[in-house]
């Protein structure tokens, strides 16, 4: 269970407690919980209580980088209503987790570099009070986990993960996730590093591979890409074979004499 108290920032003294049924979900599942709130010393007109899915995204601006909070889902769970002084109310909620929600935990461990969670927002008297970010641990879908483990079996070593601003083809999100690896022994003569991105919908998933390819005779290092689509509930062995094919295609050396 996750429990947090939010005090309204504009002196109303309204207390809001959000309890999630679980802090671990998968994309496409439903996040359930309950918002409990207690009125302050006076009566207030509450315009709404909202649950906001928020991610910390890396933004590039010129030669600099900075982190910004991006909301990718906002759902009203209560209001508008009249909250009398000292009154207690509760509002249960069920929120579908977007299929493209980035992964933030693997094997029960938080994914280094990821900051993802939910905020409870209270709209009162024309002002909006946002609470702190409560971590939400989004674990991989079975097909995602299988491909991640396949890279691990081939010796790729996890480096970090982050979210970058931008919308990729086939995506509706204002950012995309890159899971970064050091190349494994089998691939180190071809790649310096590998980045893995998933774009998921209810039926299928696009897998995007980006490798920092080592330079060769009369050529410099450069990035190379591969993108393929697999059914979301398809054969795991076929998905792993598509991954291997993508790696081999990127590893091919061209332009050598």
Q: pLDDT of 182-234, one tens digit each?
A: 998 889 888 889 999 999 999 999 999 999 875 444 444 567 899 999 999 99
Distance between CA atoms of residues 76 and 49, nearest Å: 6
Residue 133: φ, ψ to 5°: -80, 115
Residues 206 and 221 in one domain: yes
Residues 38 and 99 in one domain: yes
Q: Please check whether residue 198 lies inside any domain of the structure.
A: yes
- Please give the pLDDT value at position 190: 87
Residues 29 and 13 in one domain: yes
Specify the pTM: 0.88
3-state secondary structure of 166: coil
> CA 2 → CA 18, 36, 101, 124, 162, distances in Å?
7, 13, 20, 24, 24
Element (DSSP H or E) covering residue 31: strand 30-38
Q: Please check whether residue 191 lies inside any domain of the structure.
A: yes
Residue 68 has pLDDT above 70, yes or no: yes
- Please give the pLDDT value at position 253: 57
Residue 9 has pLDDT above 50, yes or no: no
Number of domains in the chain: 2
Distance between CA atoms of residues 163 and 58, nearest Å: 6
Chain-wide mean pLDDT for the chain?
Answer: 87
Higher-pLDDT residue of 134 and 172 is: 172
Q: Please check whether residue 38 lies inside any domain of the structure.
A: yes
- Tens-place pLDDT, residues 77-118: 988 988 888 888 899 999 999 999 999 999 889 999 999 999
DSSP code for 234: S
Q: How many percent of the chain have pLDDT more than 70?
A: 88
Distance between CA atoms of residues 65 and 185, nearest Å: 32
Alpha-carbon dihedral sign for residues 224, 229, 232, 233: negative
Q: Name the pairing type of β-strands 137-138 and 24-25.
A: parallel
- Please give the pLDDT value at position 12: 58
Closest C-alpha among 168, 175, 179 to residue 112: 179
Look up the domain containing 161 and give its range.
142-251
Residues 24 and 69 in one domain: yes
Residues 129 and 8 in one domain: yes
């Amino acid at each position: 269970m996750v429990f947090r108290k939010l005090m309204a920032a504009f002196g109303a003294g309204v207390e809001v407690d959000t309890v999630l049924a679980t802090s671990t979900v998968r994309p496409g599942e439903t996040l359930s919980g309950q918002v409990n709130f207690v009125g302050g010393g006076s009566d207030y007109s509450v315009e709404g209580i909202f649950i906001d899915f928020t991610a910390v995204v890396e933004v590039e601006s010129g030669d600099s980088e900075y982190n910004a909070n991006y909301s990718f889902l906002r759902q009203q769970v209560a209001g508008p209503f009249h909250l009398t002084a000292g009154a207690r109310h509760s509002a249960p909620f069920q929120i579908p987790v977007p299929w493209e929600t980035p992964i933030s935990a693997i094997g029960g461990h938080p994914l280094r570099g990821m900051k993802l969670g939910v905020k409870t927002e209270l709209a009162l008297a024309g002002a909006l009070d946002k609470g702190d970010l409560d971590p939400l641990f989004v674990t991989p879908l079975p097909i995602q986990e299988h491909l991640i483990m396949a890279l691990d079996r081939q010796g790729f070593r996890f480096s970090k993960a982050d979210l970058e601003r931008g919308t990729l083809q086939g995506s509706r999100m204002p950012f995309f996730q890159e899971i970064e690896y050091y190349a494994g022994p089998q691939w180190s003569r071809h790649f310096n590093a590998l980045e893995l991105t998933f774009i998921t919908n209810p039926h299928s998933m696009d897998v995007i591979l980006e490798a920092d390819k080592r330079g060769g005779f009369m050529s410099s290092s450069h990035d190379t890409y591969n993108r393929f689509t697999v059914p979301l509930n398809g054969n795991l062995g076929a998905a792993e074979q598509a991954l291997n094919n993508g790696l081999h295609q990127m590893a091919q050396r061209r332009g050598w004499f």
